[in-house]
Structure 1
Amino acid sequence: MNRKIEWLVTIVDRGRGSTVAQVYQRHQIAVQLITHGHGTASSKVMDVLGLDEPEKDIVLSLVPGALSADIFRALESELHFARPGAGIAFSLALSGISAAAHSRITHGRVELCLPQEEMDMAQEQQHELIVAVTDADGVDIVMDAARGAGARGGTVAKAREACSETAQKLFGLTIQPEKELVLIVVPGSIRQTVMQAICTAVSQQTQHHAFAFSLPVSGVLGLR
């Protein structure tokens, strides 16, 4: 089985994120989060076009590497990504992933979330970005574990889960559960130790499996 997993980032105009998520759902992409951003076109260009600064939906997905080409073809054929301004998508290879995350992406099953189940996918880099996805009440658990394993700090961003089976209905509207993205840059030498610590802490304190993965960082500034 091809265990390669990629982080797929898709950026489209605000309101189209749900459409992208539906395309991915049809391709059985299980992990999708949507957060917000904005475009960076210069004010002069926007004034000439008579447009306001465009707000964006950012769809974050984890996909088996074998499906990446199919996903890009779907974006081009169904959402016309070949046209200027339709959107942009790119994928990044992971350097590691927790067993629970890998199981969900590959539609497998995981019975235990043990430190040794964290899977290596690349050679050690000088620095790594660890991404942990958690509920709001899990941020402190993740960060306490990460700091205890040697991490200096992290950044938290809000996102919502797209096409979630746990979405609730309120007054006829679908309410998607909110998630927190915890972004932690660490020296490559402690990446596995930090991910193992997060996995163990989440499993012991919440009875849930840790959902975390890592990516290589090519350059860094401001870490001491």
Structure 2
Amino acid sequence: MTENQSVKVNTDLLCLIVNDGMGSEVIRIAKKNGSSGGTVFYGSGTINNSRLKMFGLDNIRKEIVLMITNDDQSDAILKVLSEKLKLDRPNHGIAFSISLLNVLGRRNSTYDQNAQIGEDDSVMHQAIFVIVERGKAEDVIDAAVEAGSQGGTIISARGSGVNETSRLFGMDIEPEKEIVLILSDKDKVDPIVASISHATKIEKPGNGIIFTIDVKNTKGLF
């Protein structure tokens, strides 16, 4: 293999967004089918339903599960999880996989500075990640829905950057952040990103970050 040839990516990140209390079951099923384990953290899902929104029931607690697997296992694991969790039914969850360039910390993993992900014309969906200050996530969701999105998942986080630290009683305070994850058809990504950028003025320093990632395999989208 020459230095300019693409290196085959052999590691995937599996992401599942499931109802509260299901994260441990996801990991149990995945480990039974070859996964080495995963990480569960909390978020809230949004439902694009005006009647539910009137009663404050549009935000539903979710669990996000992240697992790293070999790419020759990921499709099989997602298939089993989809069957066991009934992801073919509405409101049971969403799952997708993303190709990773490099992973360190796994057994026998090494860093390859020449690793590349080749273009894949079969990609149908992308994941949109938006990182904003706490309290701005709903604005992101509203802007995305206006551009054709069906909603997203909000995850709490904490940021640290040169423009992000304030002081209270002589102590540096790092403001909390919110991460919005939106899964979209690839042909709708550009208008969704443009709508979010316009609504949040995210191009101004300190207002946030948007990035998009190709998604290889999706389950639970309707």
TM-score range, shorter chain: 0.3 to 0.5
> Larger helix proportion, structure 1 or 2?
1
With the length of structure 1 as denominator, give the TM-score of the two structures: 0.45
With the length of structure 2 as denominator, give the TM-score of the two structures: 0.45
